[in-house]
Amino acid sequence: MRTIPLRQALREAMEEEMRRDNSVFLMGEEVAQYNGAYKVSQGMLDEFGDKRIIDTPISELGFTAIGVGAAMNNTRPIIEFMTWNFAELALDQIVNHAAKILSMSGGQFSCPIVFRGPNGSAGQLGAQHSQAFENWYANVPGLKVISTMNPYDAKGLLKSAIRDNDPVVFMESEIAYGEMAEVPEEEYLIPIGKADVKRNGTDVTIVSYNKMMKVAMTAAEELAKENISAEVIDLRTIRPLDWQTIAESVKKTNRLVIVEEQWPFGSVSSEITYRIQKEVFDYLDAPILRICSADTNMHYASNLVAAHIPDVPRTVKLVKEVLYMKK
């Protein structure tokens, strides 16, 4: 099977869906003439033309509103944000319009739209460009939230998102667009709302998503050197969340560690912890532990960036802690 980078997997998903369905179009800053800020849309203008690959002004609220209106009128827009940090300017359209129009119209209008772009920290970019927003959008009824950096998963999930009749928030990672993985050339879809067990294990369950999966998987490899068997689950979809896969794993391993890039207060790990302790408490042999980003704004200095985000040594330490504690 061929190996391709994340940016190509995302591009192929959009191209295939645009060839299949003429109502699909891409709109955002620098997606056309510049081939995309991260070259995800490279070459798409040449194939589909400027009626379907549309450069916009630097006005997230404006072009998001156009996309929401278009989605309500029998098209399937893909709205690319240069970063989800900029999408805060469009929050009214995403939260108050796209997420609510189906219920507010009594089912008369749907909003089949995909909002996509890079999310989370990308290194030394400062506090205003280094935020992870999965929990923000997952808190909103009416939105589906996907967060992945794996090229195989990203292609299959993006194709499903484009075909979905509900608004989908699709979160990528700026530093992962070159991430490589095997992706088949034949068409495939991955269902929204299904987690994936990336590594089987028996001693502890580690749950993560997006680029923190690299931390989780590397930590599992380090733990294996000490004969500690960690099962690693990639959530892939944040809402709807695949509780069953997590619960079945915890029933097997009896311990759970969550690794995520969110701030700790009101995070995805908070919701997982509540739900798992509520549903499978009797299977837990130790309290659920988590490692999140620091509960501060991200600073620019490289040493503070490194201290802010979960890493492998701290994850390994946390897993050992949950292994050797008693409830």
172 and 214 in a common domain: no
Per-residue model confidence (pLDDT) at position 125 = 83
Assign residue 204 the CATH number of its domain: 3.40.50.920
Per-residue model confidence (pLDDT) at position 122 = 83
**pLDDT > 60? residue 327:** no
Is residue 61 a part of any domain in this protein? Answer: yes
Is residue 245 a part of any domain in this protein? Answer: yes
Per-residue model confidence (pLDDT) at position 127 = 81
Tens-digit pLDDT profile for residues 159-181: 999 999 999 999 999 999 999 99
At 128, is the pLDDT very low, low, confident or very high (cuts 50, 70, 90)? confident
Tens-digit pLDDT profile for residues 74-104: 999 999 999 999 999 999 999 999 999 999 9
**Domain limits at 148?**
3-182
Catalytic residue among 129, 134, 179, 261: 129
Helix or strand run (H / E) with residue 46: helix 44-48
**Is 129 tagged catalytic?**
yes
At 123, is the pLDDT very low, low, confident or very high (cuts 50, 70, 90)? confident
Domain boundary among 182, 214, 241: 182
164 and 222 in a common domain: no
Tens-digit pLDDT profile for residues 195-236: 999 999 999 999 999 999 999 999 999 999 999 999 999 999
Helix or strand run (H / E) with residue 217: helix 212-224
251 and 318 in a common domain: yes
At 158, is the pLDDT very low, low, confident or very high (cuts 50, 70, 90)? very high
Is residue 206 a part of any domain in this protein? Answer: yes
Catalytic residue among 60, 134, 172, 231: 60
Domain count, the chain: 2
134 and 59 in a common domain: yes
The DSSP secondary-structure symbol of 298 reads P
* Percentage, residues of the chain above pLDDT 70: 99
249 and 178 in a common domain: no
Is residue 201 a part of any domain in this protein? Answer: yes
168 and 240 in a common domain: no
174 and 263 in a common domain: no
What DSSP line would sit under 158-202, residue for residue?
A: HHHHHH-SS-EEEEE-GGGTT-EEE--SS-----TT--EEEE--S
155 and 35 in a common domain: yes
97 and 229 in a common domain: no
Is residue 187 a part of any domain in this protein? Answer: no
Domain boundary among 128, 154, 182: 182
At 325, is the pLDDT very low, low, confident or very high (cuts 50, 70, 90)? confident
Per-residue model confidence (pLDDT) at position 145 = 98
**Is 60 tagged catalytic?**
yes
For residues 220-252, one letter each, b for 16 or more C-beta atoms within 10 angstroms of the residue's C-beta and e for the rest, the string is bebbeeeebebbbbbbbbbbebbeebbbebbee
Average pLDDT of span 42-60: 97
Assign residue 27 the CATH number of its domain: 3.40.50.970
**pLDDT > 90? residue 113:** yes
Is residue 31 a part of any domain in this protein? Answer: yes
Tens-digit pLDDT profile for residues 257-305: 999 999 999 999 999 999 999 999 999 999 999 999 999 998 889 999 8
Average pLDDT of span 35-54: 97
159 and 34 in a common domain: yes
247 and 165 in a common domain: no
Per-residue model confidence (pLDDT) at position 129 = 86
**pLDDT > 70? residue 326:** no
pTM summary value: 0.95
Domain boundary among 182, 207, 230: 182
255 and 178 in a common domain: no
Is residue 190 a part of any domain in this protein? Answer: no
